[in-house]
Structure formats: C-alpha cells, structure tokens
Structure 1
Amino acid sequence: MGELELPGNPPIALVVRRSARARRISLRLSQLDGRVTLTLPQRLPLDEGLEFAREKEQWLRDHLQAQGAVRQVGIGEAVPLEGRMVPVVAGQGRRVVDTGDALAVPGAADQVAKRLEAYLKQRARDRLAEASDHYAAKLGRPYTRLTLRDTRSRWGSCSADGKLMYSWRLVLAPAWVLRYVAAHEVAHLAEMNHSQRFWDVVTDLYGPWKDARGWLHENGADLHRYRFGN
C-alpha cells in the first residue's frame, strides 16, 4: 500500500492498494473521512490505475465537495472536544493544556497534530475508563480489558470474554454521547445481542438513549474528518 496525489486544485490524495483477488481497478471514497482508495490487480501497471483515477476525477471532486472538506489539524485550526469547538494554539512547556478556551500545544509546528492526537487519546481513555467502570459496577459485571482504536465502522465493541474496545474519537463528541457508547458496550456483558432485553439493560444503565444514538448517526462522520497526520 502507498500514497499518491492526483494533481489539481486542490490535489486529491490517493491510497494505492494492490489486491491479488481484484480483477479490475476500483475507486472507493470513504463516507467517514473522505479517504480515496485506488485498488489495483496485483500485476496491473500503476500508470493504468492513475489514468483510471484521472478519468474519474470530476466524480471524485463532486463527491468530496458534497461530503465536506477533510480538516488537517494544526495551530490556528479548531477541533471538537467533548462537543465544543476549541481552537488549537501554540503552547509552552512539554504538555498539552486545555485552558478552557483553547488547546495549547507546545513544540514545533510539524509535531502539533501528533502531540494533540496523543493528548486526545489519553483523555479518551480516562473518560471511557471512568464511564465503563461506572456502568460495569452498576451492572455488577466486570470487563476484562479496555482498548482504544481509530475504528471507522463502529464506535465500540464488547467481546465474549469481556474485552471492551472504543474509538478514541468519542472524546470529540459530547460527553453524554461518549457515556451512551460506554453503557451500550457494557450492556453487552449481560446480553451479547441487540434484543429487547439488551436495550432494556442499556436503558437501566444509561436512561433514555435514542438522542445519543441519533447524534452519532447524524454527526459521527464529521468526527472522522479531522486528520492528525498524513
């Protein structure tokens, strides 16, 4: 897998992927974060793949424009944090600081995005661990492990052996939405399904949950448009 650019204003980044199972060239535009993946059969010359992408350039630009621009994080930009838009400013010292009005990120400009990403992941871990501990204690069933990923297809999961996984980008959403996802996954410790009994457990743990679920359906894709690196 590699990355190329389709020239233009602005250029379009292409993630190039070769597949032994592919029989033809394909282009896929992620509805979550706008990433464009060009998949090629194993032996097809790269030039043919790029020519295919050029032929589809207007289609790509139309859909990218309709979808909304990807936002590259840096000084002077704003990012969502627990549901509020917060500007990123230059900081001092060694730690990222939430001043209440801004996120102050120290260091060289080319390191700002990665430092902020690390800070957000730790903050997400703290918030999700706190919420998961609370709901697991309320349910009376402990979980065995908590991990974070940058998942694109789901906000969380619970395995049969009690391992919880969450998207760290939940820290960008309002706190009540993050807590809903924690309650949802902890409820799977009792019900490994989405039956009415499962939703009854979610209601017992969290309360009315439809607004939080609806917020994710309506706004969740926007959280994936913030880029913290290439």
Structure 2
Amino acid sequence: MRLFARLPDSVEVGGRQLPLVATRYRAARGIRLKPCAITSSLKLSLPARGGVREALDLIERHRGWLEAQVARWPAPLPFAPGAEIPFDGRTLLIDWDAARPLRPVLDGDRLRLGGPLVGVRDRTRRFLLAQARAALVPATQEEAAKLDRKVARIALNDPVGRWGSCNQRQGSINYSWRLILMPAWVRRAIVVHEVAHLVHANHGPDFWRLVAEMDGRAGESRRWLARFGREMHAVGAETGRI
C-alpha cells in the first residue's frame, strides 16, 4: 500500500522516458490523462486536492493504450549534421564542416555551416527563425494592405497550440517560426487567416467568407496541417520539442 504516493517527473512508455506534466484544476471532478505528441509528454489533469494514487493507477491501467498512442508519434528530428529537415516545401540537408564559417548559408537544398559541433543546433534554429521572419513580415504587410489594414507588430515564437494568433485591438500578429518548414501556399493560408482577423475578430460566417475570397486553397491548407502538423513540431527536437 502506497501511504505517501507521489507523482514522478517522468514515465517510461514504449521505451521512451516522457515528462509527466500534472495540473490541478479547482473545478475538476475527476482525473484525465492525455498523451501530447507536440510536447512529447503526458498531461495529467487533477482535482484541487488528492488524486495522486488514483492517477498512478490510471497510468498503469492504460499503459497499453499509452504505448499505442506514443508509437504513432512522429520521430524527433534533431538539428544535427546529415539530418534532412523540411524547409519551404522541400527537404534541406544540414551540411556541417567544422572548417567552414560559423554562419549558415543556404546553398540549393543544403544548409552549409561550420564551427563547433555543439552549436549546430542553435545556429540552425536561428537561421530558420530569420528565414521565417523574412518570409512572414512582408507577406503579412502585403495581405493586410489588400484589406486596408495596418499591422503594428509581428512576432515569431514557438507556440504549442496554434500556428498564429491576432490581437485585433492592438493590430499585432504572432506566428510560429515553424511556418517556414511548410510549403509556401500553406504558410500563406496562415497569414491570410490571421490578417482576416484584423477585420473580423471571431470565426463567424463573415470571417470564413473573407478567408475564402482571399485564399482559394484555405481548405486544402487545413487538411495539410491536420496531416503533417505534428511532424513540424518534431523538427529540431531531441526527445521532445526544442
């Protein structure tokens, strides 16, 4: 009998050690367990008090289900020499040689970079962030101009739950830098979606009508994201997200 049960920091599932992220909710009446492919973790929702022993039992009873879910997750794709990563709708080979200059250079379907091996991950990520900014900022301004709107601020982050967001009142738009990994037409669909929120703050019929008028491939892009979105979050990851 476990008199003083405590939740572990991680749980082994299918040969992978996954962080266990537990959150207590005052209004929660039960315990919920959810494997999250995007963060490569197990999310556990608990009531305000107690429930630890029950949560541990829940994990054990559902271990087979958890293993089946984790087996379907896309494999992590670290930024490492020889890795082939998605980039702007094509595949980009990380071509590293210590003798080369530090700064990554795009050469066809190769990203050539040098310097210490230990910095390849960070330099590759900074390169992709810069490429995302160079693509998304002018595209956003161009689409906003079509609607006679101005964007006061454009920011790039690495959110878990969405590819973009818009604050209509502030005139600001946030994007995931991972959009640069996607084909240009998918990336444009995200831009159009967020710019349309400068006109319509909600997802009502008028909003979707405007999106359809601006982008004839909006539906196709949503299907692409539903199919490949998880894989974009695996890019640059070691065992989970970067």
Q: TM-score range with shorter-chain normalisation?
A: 0.7 to 0.9
Q: 1:78 to 1:42 in 2, by over 3 A?
A: farther
Alpha-carbon shift at residue 96 of structure 1 (Å):
1.1
CA contact (8 A) 2:14 2:71 kept: no
In the alignment, which of 180, 183, 187 is matched to residue 192 of structure 2?
Answer: 183
Alpha-carbon shift at residue 74 of structure 1 (Å):
1.1
Task: Name which of structure 1's ranges 3-12 and 96-105 shifts more when overlaid on structure 2.
Answer: 3-12
CA contact (8 A) 1:16 1:40 kept: no
Alpha-carbon shift at residue 146 of structure 1 (Å):
0.7
- Distance in 1, matches of 2:53 and 2:117, equals 35
Q: 1:40 to 1:14 in 2, by over 3 A?
A: farther
1:12 aligns with 2:17: yes
- Distance in 2, matches of 1:19 and 1:127, equals 40
1:137 aligns with 2:142: no
- Length-normalised TM-score, structure 1: 0.82
In the alignment, which of 100, 115, 123 is matched to residue 108 of structure 2?
Answer: 100
Deviations 1:19-65 (A, max 9, x none): 48589876431133533346788998x99988976665544332211
Percent identity of equivalent pairs:
33
Task: Tell me the secondary structure at the aligned position of residue 185 of structure 2.
Answer: helix
**Which consecutive unaligned segments of at least 5 residues does structure 1 have?**
none
The aligned residue for residue 77 of structure 2 is: 71
Alpha-carbon shift at residue 202 of structure 1 (Å):
2.1
- Distance in 2, matches of 1:189 and 1:100, equals 36
**Which consecutive unaligned segments of at least 5 residues does structure 2 have?**
1-7
Residues 46-85 of structure 1: pairs in structure 2 closer than 5 A: 57-85=63-91
Aligned residues: 229
Q: 1:119 to 1:135 in 2, by over 3 A?
A: same
The aligned residue for residue 194 of structure 1 is: 203
CA contact (8 A) 2:105 2:112 kept: yes
In the alignment, which of 107, 113, 136 is matched to residue 121 of structure 2?
Answer: 113
Q: 1:217 to 1:6 in 2, by over 3 A?
A: closer
